[in-house]
Amino acid sequence: MEPTRTEAIVLAAMDYRESDRIVTLFTLQYGKLRGVAKGAKRSARRFGPALEPFARIDVELVVREGLSSLRGADIVTLYPGIRRDLRAIGLAGYAVELVDRYLPDGAPTPRLFRLLSSYLERLDQGEPLPSDRRFFEANFLNILGYRISLDHCASCGVELPATAERRAGASGMILCASCGRYGASVGPEAAALLGRCLATGRFGAVLFSPQSLREAGTLLDGAIAAHLTRPLNSLVFLKQIEPD
């Protein structure tokens, strides 16, 4: 097969055999794939630091089912601003692990590629904001078909007006106050801001207050965990460095 070029974000990388590296890439054109970079561990000439997690690269590869073969890679950006800041590193690591764990192999998802690159750019440019993390998560779930329904109770189906008191059900569903008696409260402000996250594609357009951030966070954490069979490794690190 002929080699082809595509833009990609490195989701994960590990050493393989004596001198190779196996990388998981989120490519713009082919979706998620795993590939082997021969000699990448021994010789820095061909790949250099291009195969570090969350690097954005222009990669030349032969796409195969199972394991693709990387021929070379040019760095678009390593996001140096992220790599200078421990919290930004934690958040970027979390974002790429989330994509790695949720996305099936070989499903091109350009909207998700744009969302992930926008988030990495945002983290690269400045102070990592908790609001941006929640903005990323809400849109991430939406793009993958797990949009949180804010307007109706997920159990009884009753319509929830803007001013209604909502509750977070197990697995991050929105419930009415009666179905979700024991769930954490999701107030009208948190619900409205979550709705705005889905209505705009721009980071920085939505800023949560401390209370709405907590409420939206509980809901989103539940929704994300609901579709995973084991917890995310990066969350452990993130919890150590991120104040709640």
* Closest CB to Zn ion among residues 181, 230: 181
Which of 29, 69, 77, 155: binder of Zn ion (CB under 5 A)? Answer: 155
**How far apart are CB 180 and Zn ion at their closest, in Å?**
7
Contact status: 154 vs Zn ion (CB under 5 A):
no
> Hey, what are 34's tokens?
């795993």
CB 67 within 8 A of CB 44: no
> For residues 31 and 15, what is the distance between their CA atoms, to the nearest angstrom?
22
Angle at 136 between CA 105 and CA 209, to 5 degrees: 160
What phi and psi values does residue 82 have, to the nearest 5 degrees? -65, -45
Query: Closer CB to Zn ion, residue 19 or residue 178?
Result: 178
d(CA 92, CA 124): 9
Residue 157 burial (C-beta neighbours within 10 Å; 0-12, 13-18, 19+): exposed
How many residues bind to Zn ion according to rule CB under 5 A? Answer: 5
Nearer to Zn ion, 155 or 218 (CB): 155
* 226 touching Zn ion, by CB under 5 A: no
Asked if residue 153 binds Zn ion (CB under 5 A), the reply is yes
Residues 161-190 that bind Zn ion (CB under 5 A): 176, 179
Q: Which is nearer to Zn ion, 55 or 174 (CB)?
A: 174
Among 67, 156, 170, 205, binds Zn ion (CB under 5 A): 156
Q: Say if residues 82 and 92 touch (Cβ distance below 8 Å).
A: yes
**Residue 4 or 155 with smaller CB distance to Zn ion:** 155
Residue ranges that bind Zn ion, judged by CB under 5 A: 153, 155-156, 176, 179
